[in-house]
Amino acid sequence: MVAKQHKGAPDEADLTRADSLAREIFSDIANKWAFLIIESLGEGTLRFSALRNAVEGISHKMLTQNLRMLERNGLVERNVHPTVPPRVEYTLTEPGQALRATVDGMCDWTHRYLGDIEVSRRRFDT
């Protein structure tokens, strides 16, 4: 359970610490760009520019920013090849791959219910 941070439970100190950390991680990762990046890296290693093309519509800034965040949380690994021009490659780590599985689930879900959603939207917008 991530939504509610328990208060007054026994063994409180550690529980709430874990919960607030979980919540923090959740807030980091539950964002559109992070998901799309993870999705794209699922196929395999990509370099920065390739990733930029893979994730339609992302800006240079958002890409670096999210990559740093994902790297910090240990979801992607960053490999710099000290050539010129520089070549930087990004790969999913094992935790990243694990998360990818659930992100894939979300993509499947989206395609599965696409029609229903479209219908529901039209009903609502009246």
Partner DNA sequence: CCGAATCCTCAGCGATACTG
Partner DNA sequence: CAGTATCGCTGAGGATTCGG
120 lines the binding site for a copy of itself (CB under 8 A) = yes
Pick the closer one to DNA by CB: 15 or 73. 73
Question: For residues 48 and 63, is the Cβ–Cβ distance under 8 A?
Answer: yes
CA distance 29 to 95: 13
Pick the closer one to a copy of itself by CB: 85 or 117. 117
Cβ-based neighbours of 123, under 8 Å, separated by 6 or more: none
Pick the closer one to DNA by CB: 20 or 49. 49
74 lines the binding site for a copy of itself (CB under 8 A) = yes
112 lines the binding site for a copy of itself (CB under 8 A) = yes
8 lines the binding site for a copy of itself (CB under 8 A) = no
Interaxial angle between packed helices 60-72 and 32-42, expressed in degrees from 0 to 180 and rounded to the nearest 10: 80
Pick the closer one to DNA by CB: 3 or 101. 3
Rounded least distance, CB 14 to a copy of itself, Å? 11
2: helix, strand or coil? coil
Phi then psi dihedrals of residue 99, to 5 deg: -65, -35
Question: For residues 90 and 67, is the Cβ–Cβ distance under 8 A?
Answer: yes
* Residues near a copy of itself, by CB under 8 A: 1-5, 18, 21-23, 25-27, 29-32, 35-37, 39-40, 53-56, 71-74, 95, 98-99, 101-102, 105-107, 109-114, 116-121, 124-125
